[in-house]
Amino acid sequence: MLTPPIDQLIDALPSQGMTVQALKALDYIAPGQWVNINRFDNMIRVVTGNGDEGYVKAVRQRALAMYADENQGYQRAVWIYQMVDATDSKLGMAALANKAGELLSILSFLSKITPKADTTQSIDLAMKIIAELMAFRYVNLSAPGDGVMDFANGLLSYQKENLIRMAALLTFDGLIPLGPDFARKLLHTAQGMRLSDLESNATYQRLRNMIPGGVSPLQFVSGGVGALSSHMGGFTNRYGISTARVIPQLRGIIEFADDKLDYVAGFLDMSTNYMEHTGIQSVARVLIARAAGQT
């Protein structure tokens, strides 16, 4: 198996910590949409609305069997979410190292060997969007093709774990490090992206073998991000994602000055795994709903 069984993954999710606090700070975007369910049987009860122990056991067995089938895409989707967060700490440290180079002359050499923060964050954001697209394809068993339009349409119906994860992605990896015009910067990055930019990105290095056939990796990533950038902006506007709303919420868990948002972004990169946490929950929810339909 690519990952441990899904019930073990859910049961291992923390009930508190920086990831949970950061996600709760975004509850204002869609109040009550995300609940941190970290027991597999509890999720079965919530998703199905049925608490009968015999029924819960039957759904559990069916869900675990479906997840173990590597011909289906559930494990690949979870692996993608896990992998993205596993590379985050390196990107966060690179961004912080660059800022240290700008602020402290004794460390100025760091700016010569680390990516500029905006470049790093823009490519990181682009690759996280592509990772979300690829996980979406595996979970929803999309028809042949790149799945961009299916994903774009799916964004309109995102709820619960999917919704809070996308809000976190656009807030923590878009708005905070890149500013209110992050969607424009994202589009600019996509339009000017080179293969060398991708090859230097740790997330891309681990995802490139999963890119659909029939299209070049550069075309898939740059074209996909370009096509989705307006949808990201629409999502941002729809849910009122702005610095004026999110900064007061984050100050409840992190102390920082208004001019230190780059540090906040780096800190969140290194201290949270929101994609893995909510990604596991999202896959489990879909899996349970489908298992229940077959029970």
In DSSP notation, the chain reads --SS-HHHHHHTS-SSSHHHHHHHTTGGGSTTS------HHHHHHHHH----HHHHHHHHHHHHHHHH-TTSSHHHHHHHHHHHHHHHHHHHHHHHHHHHHHH-GGGTTHHHHS--HHHHHHHHHHHHHHHHHHHHHHHHTPPSS--HHHHHHHHTT--HHHHHHHHHHHIIIIIHHH-TTHHHHHHHHHHH--HHHHHT-HHHHHHGGGSPTTS-HHHHHHHHHHHHHHHHHHHHHHTT--HHHHHHHHTTT----GGGHHHHHHHHHHH--HHHHHHHHHHHHHHHHHHHHT-
pLDDT, residue 117, reads 60
pLDDT, residue 105, reads 47
Residue 52 lies in a domain: yes
Low-confidence ranges of the chain (pLDDT < 50): 103-110, 113-115, 144
Tell me the average pLDDT of the chain: 84
Residue 1 lies in a domain: no
Residue 143 lies in a domain: yes
Residue 88 lies in a domain: yes
Residue 106 lies in a domain: yes
Domain count, the chain: 1
Residue 125 lies in a domain: yes
> Domain range for residue 24?
6-293
Give pTM, 2 decimals: 0.89
pLDDT, residue 107, reads 43
Residue 96 lies in a domain: yes
Residue 212 lies in a domain: yes
pLDDT, residue 234, reads 85
